[in-house]
Amino acid sequence: MNTDDMLVGDRYRLLIDAVTDYAIYMLDPDGLVASWNPGARRFKGYRDHEIIGQHFSRFYTEEDRATCLPARALETAAKEGRFENEGWRVRKDGTRFWAHVVIDPILHPTSGRVLGYAKITRDLTDRKKQDEALRQSEQSFRLLVQGVTDYAIYMLDREGIVTNWNAGAERIKGYRPEEIIGRHFSVFYTQADRARGDCERALAIARESGSFQTDGWRVRKNGERFWASVALDPIRDDTGQIIGFAKITRDMSERRQAEQALEVAREALYQSQKMESLGQLTGGIAHDFNNLLNAVVGSLELLRKQVTDDKQLSLIGNALKGATRGITLTQRMLAFARKQELQPKAVNIYELVAGMTDLLSRSLGPSIEFDTRFPASLKPAFADPNQLELAILNLAVNARDAMPSGGRITISASNETILESVQNSLAAGNYVRIAVEDSGFGMDAETLAKASEPFFTTKGVGKGTGLGLPMVLGTAQQLGGRLDLASQPGKGTTATLWLRASEPAAALPAEDRLDVDGGGDSPLSVLAVDDDALVLMNTVALLEDLGHTVVEAASGQEALKRLEEGQIFDLIITDHAMPHMTGGQLIAEVSRRWPDIPIILATGYADLPDGLQAGVRRLGKPFWQSDLQKAIADVTGA
């Protein structure tokens, strides 16, 4: 070996000895360590004299030695010219490290005989820890995604093909992984959405904007539709190229149903508030009309007594007929407002309808077939018979008007029991259900929703007041029942009136009954109380025409003042709705201080204060002179 070769060899050894990040050493043909660099000392912990001459298999784990991995490594290097792998190796102190190992054979330049092996080992423990942490993180993430059952979480390729599938997707959409992986995600869309190209549009928006979110109908494997909240995000590689999409779907059906139920409840509340407002408005208008009609009717009655000319009497008669129609109108308004005066009792529905047969036949006409169906076990209903008769007649006439070319009307009834009170429905108890069914042209949903509103009519101008159904509704509600309407265009309408079944009631004690015998023709001293001057003047005129002496009072306080002055009255007639002191309050005070004076309460309202004395006589406004005369006879027992 010349000087230059020796110089190169020395430099090579210096290079090897300077490397500390790699263990670089040589083995003889049998695997004994022949050299040892500083990197090997740092990795493996052995000094030169401790390891040179020792077999390299001591760096391997017991498991690897048991499988003869060291010998196989040398054999592979000799045969194939190289051996390379990664695995656990052992330091001098027994600790393990993850190593990358390369073994190259050293061959004789002429014969090719193996002279030994060059072995390079690199400590990759830190990288192994990072890889293991990443693997565990990915595994944990996969377990997390697979464990989620409230969300469908899966991936799509660039074209929208499903590439994986979690447990939530299987639960929500019904497909097992082997049934859906490899199929296009458009299978989850409705046919209409696919026809519109919603699937392609979702992928396009996700590509362009980086995200796509929407709510809409989706389809399960069994064909059932559900309301879904969907998010679609692109997945990019290290170069920024889109390699697929992450898709998250949540089943929002229950929340949507809850939102719809809330909307229905809000609409019902709005409708209830609207109807309540209309009822208050209608009741107030009806009350004012009652006062006006009271004056009109009274004045016309008195005028008719003083006129002898036939033509004038005919005109007065026409005016009274008009006033009578006005009274009917205000009664319907008060019925809708639930402020009419009712006298409910047990009503036999079969007998009531049977008694109306002639009236119904005349009202419905010859083109209408009329049928009734009542079971023998039908219970009596708790109702005002006059108002119930009017309600049934209204429903029948409405049914007739829905069949201009003729048809059939069926009135039926049945016993029903409501076991549990439900919001916006009937209280628990026993009911009688009366249905009036026609074969007419029916109503669409919009018309049906407005049918019970006051003044709404489809009959044209001058052909209906729009108060028939509201009157029936108000009467039913005032009696603790309800009115249901069911209708479809071309399939007729069924109006169902629910009334409480009558319970046996105890008879009133004899002393609480009013004595209605007697005449009432004796002149009386009467105190008339009303805050409306027009009505008060009319009442005074009617009383004076009957021969009574009348003192006027425009308020409850003025009436008390007349009594306190010592004036003696045989009777007090008072209005109820008065400012500062109502008729009810006046009656309470008079009954306490002058209990022997009989009282008539003249009012068009039904919602009067509780606790009115048994001797107080109700007189509904507007009233005729004969009604007034009978009421006086009732309370005075004359």
Q: Provide the pLDDT for residue 39.
A: 85
Q: Report the pLDDT averaged over residues 373-391.
A: 86
- Would the CATH topology of 3-129 be identical to that of 148-251? yes
**Helix 357-364 × helix 385-401 angle, to 10°:** 30
- Nearest residue to 470 (alpha-carbon basis) of 500, 450, 487: 450
Amino acid type, 106? I
pLDDT tens across 72-94, in order?
999 999 999 999 999 999 999 99
Question: CA-based angle 319:322:325, to the nearest 5?
Answer: 155
- Nearest residue to 470 (alpha-carbon basis) of 570, 391, 553: 391
Distance of CA 218 to the CA centre of its chain: 22
The fraction of the chain above a pLDDT of 90, given in percent, is: 35
Kindly tell me if the per-residue pLDDT of 511 is higher than 70. Answer: no
Q: Give residue 576's pLDDT band: very low, low, confident or very high (50, 70, 90).
A: confident
Q: Provide the pLDDT for residue 571.
A: 93
Q: Is the Cβ–Cβ distance between 297 and 624 less than 8 Å?
A: yes
- Nearest residue to 33 (alpha-carbon basis) of 117, 144, 151, 155: 117
Collapsed DSSP state (helix, strand, coil) of residue 394: helix
Lowest mean pLDDT among 283-297, 396-410, 483-497, 574-588: 283-297
What's the CATH architecture for 510-636? 3-Layer(aba) Sandwich (3.40)
- 262-336, CATH topology level: Helix Hairpins (1.10.287)
Lowest mean pLDDT among 38-42, 109-113, 273-277, 403-407: 273-277
Tokens of 163: 């590439």
Q: How far is CA 336 from CA 281, 397, 401, 411, in A?
A: 11, 18, 21, 23
Domain-wise residue ranges, the chain = 3-129, 148-251, 262-336, 345-500, 510-636
Q: Is the peptide bond before 366 cis (omega within 30 degrees of 0)?
A: no
Rounded to 5 degrees, φ, ψ at 30 are -90, 0
Report the b/e string of 385-395 with b at 16+ CB within 10 A.
Answer: bebbbbbbbbb
pLDDT tens across 337-358, in order?
545 556 788 999 988 888 887 7
Q: Are strands 225-236 and 212-219 parallel, antiparallel or unpaired?
A: antiparallel
Q: Provide the pLDDT for residue 507.
A: 37
Q: Report the pLDDT averaged over residues 356-373.
A: 81
Lowest mean pLDDT among 4-8, 118-122, 273-277, 378-382: 4-8
pLDDT tens across 423-472, in order?
456 888 899 999 999 988 888 887 777 666 655 566 554 445 555 677 77
Q: Provide the pLDDT for residue 220.
A: 94
Q: Give all strands of the β-sheet with 407-418 in edge-to-edge order.
A: 368-373, 407-418, 429-438, 493-500, 482-487
Q: For the domain bounded by 148-251, which CATH number is listed?
A: 3.30.450.20
Please give the Cα distance from 398 to 413 (Å, whole number): 18
Collapsed DSSP state (helix, strand, coil) of residue 492: coil
Please give the Cα distance from 611 to 604 (Å, whole number): 18
| Cβ neighbour number for residue 53 with a 10 Å cutoff | 10
Q: Provide the pLDDT for residue 128.
A: 81
Q: Provide the pLDDT for residue 444.
A: 83
The highest-level CATH class for domain 3-129 is alpha beta
Collapsed DSSP state (helix, strand, coil) of residue 574: strand
Please give the Cα distance from 211 to 206 (Å, whole number): 4
Kindly tell me if the per-residue pLDDT of 143 is higher than 70. Answer: no
Q: Is the Cβ–Cβ distance between 546 and 512 less than 8 Å?
A: no
pLDDT tens across 259-299, in order?
877 777 776 666 556 556 655 555 566 666 666 777 787 78
Kindly tell me if the per-residue pLDDT of 96 is higher than 70. Answer: yes
Please give the Cα distance from 81 to 78 (Å, whole number): 5
Please give the Cα distance from 468 to 203 (Å, whole number): 58
Q: What is the pLDDT of the chain when averaged over all its residues?
A: 81
Q: Tokens 């001293």 appear where?
A: 525
Q: Give residue 362's pLDDT band: very low, low, confident or very high (50, 70, 90).
A: confident
Q: Report the pLDDT averaged over residues 137-160.
A: 74
Please give the Cα distance from 112 to 81 (Å, whole number): 11
Q: Give residue 147's pLDDT band: very low, low, confident or very high (50, 70, 90).
A: low
- 345-500, CATH topology level: Heat Shock Protein 90 (3.30.565)
Strand partners, 482: 498
pLDDT tens across 304-322, in order?
888 888 878 888 888 877 7
- Nearest residue to 39 (alpha-carbon basis) of 131, 115, 119: 119
Q: Provide the pLDDT for residue 512.
A: 38
Kindly tell me if the per-residue pLDDT of 418 is higher than 80. Answer: yes
